[in-house]
Chains A and B, each alone.
Chain A
């Protein structure tokens, strides 16, 4: 397939700039300007909607439903710095004092009763259908290699389809099919596959909101394909740019956090 690198780069930069500037959200940019968008650029643009600043705080609420009934709910305060550091503070009474730290591909959980951080894998579940990586991992581009697969309409929205293969060991999932909106590269839907090839989850990126002039993800829904009738809704609120001390992201500092 012939490609125009300059046109692709320009379009990507334009789309990213629009998102960063909180510009018009529905203006078609990519689809008409090039026929074969760069999958990696699309991925980087999709990442922008979950990463507003170099360092910021966001509140995450996870609600787990079984057969439409709310079964469990959890709140998390998430601190993100750069592309490689995430700290998740558990806010509920039964998990008070618990923290999840992510550095590059690595994750640790700190539980106050064990008094030490324990190295864990990305697939270990946080709550309901949400894995640790669903909360702590907010960037696709560093974790996956992307291949352009075509175009498709999802719930009336024109999307590009990307096939993602885990590049790093810390990627939450082995293989992902991702639908991003043609108009602004925001993620619309993702289908998650296990290394066995089994369809594991479907994620819908439901709503976005303008926060401090930036268009950011405010809700996503995870449908567990292995557990009939199980659905998890993650809501993101209170995005705030913030200076976060570097030592907060040191594993040995977890026991000192309050």
Chain B
């Protein structure tokens, strides 16, 4: 798989004055060679990736995305040990109950460039008729520079059953030092065209780090130390993540999916505005539009960089809509994905056109456009659009 992309930078982004704060490339290329191999009980997925913003100096990477031993313990039980991608959610773009999943982008639900990596885990699953019970231990231990660094211990449980046409799962997840999370997900088909699904995950309090500016109406501030804190750590409030969605297949084959996602840990519109005003102030300092003590310039740059940690590729605010329309013919297919920030109405639009040249070769064009008013989430990003051309070969 190889994808070359041209970016159009956002001239009015407050995050990156003159493309000097976090320099963005105008062109990029990512090439991946993936091998999925299986030897009896051992399965692995290996990836060799080159990423280049500058074709003269490409960055090479080799990843063992997955490497696991999957043992069958009799008729009903399976034990899996190794590095593996597990997914538990029923949603398409967002998966609140995907507590064991690797981090991924909702704008690329199918992981077209195979960038998702497995997690280190031991999983025991029992299959009882149309039900299953899974217990997983996870630890994101990493080995680098001759040192093994252990991550936090995590335990997750999932009970799944299929009953009277309803997919139903109950999920529990605990990460060392964090909150116990409890959730459920479901899916159901009505008639011949309509599928509905939902996910709900809740926890008491939150260990999420929030910027101090979210509680201040004065944007003209400089922080001299790291301004993030887990301010909801002792909260008794329940923090919900909710997904409601469905897909409808029209008689002519067009498939439309719609999802609504709410994340209580995201920023409210008021918090977003406070944060954005703060970022704009730092941007103005960087541009020299605001007269400040020259000694402030460096703290301002640092403050701008710190503030960007608030941004999440999975959505920074609370409420989003996801829309997908897709249609496939024998040798071509098209898909349009749209993300709408329900609070500020900004939109990310991603149409993709794919031509299946042969059974094993496909060529695609993927456009990403960000639309929104000044100060909105998608309207303020580093780029306004990107056009990617890719080719995939499967052997």
Contact = CB atoms under 8 A, between A and B. Distances in A.
Interface string B184-214: 0001111111110100000000000000000
A94 B75 contact: no
Contacts of A258: 38, 43
Interface of B: 36, 38, 43, 70, 75-76, 78, 85-90, 92, 109-112, 114, 116, 125, 127, 129-132, 134, 160, 162, 165, 167, 187-195, 197, 247, 249, 251-253, 255, 328, 330-331, 356, 359-360, 362, 394-395
Interface residues of A, number: 52
Contacts of A247: 75-76, 127
Interface string A94-109: 1011000001111100
A114 interface: yes
Given A114-B109, A120-B195, A173-B192, A252 B134 contact: yes
Nearest to A112: B36
Given A106-B189, A114-B109, A119-B167, 20 more contacts: A71-B330, A94-B359, A94-B360, A94-B394, A111-B110, A113-B110, A114-B87, A116-B88, A119-B187, A119-B188, A121-B189, A121-B194, A121-B195, A169-B190, A245-B75, A246-B129, A250-B130, A250-B132, A252-B160, A253-B127
Given A106-B189, A122-B192, A252-B132, A194 B75 contact: no
A171 interface: yes
A128 interface: yes
Given A92-B359, A116-B87, A171 B110 contact: no
A194 B251 contact: yes
Nearest to B34: A113
Contacts of B191: 121, 169, 195
Contacts of A174: 192
Contact of B189 (A72, A94, A169, A196): A169
A38 to B, nearest CB: 27
A122 B190 CA distance: 10
A27 interface: no
Contact of B114 (A113, A170, A196, A249): A113
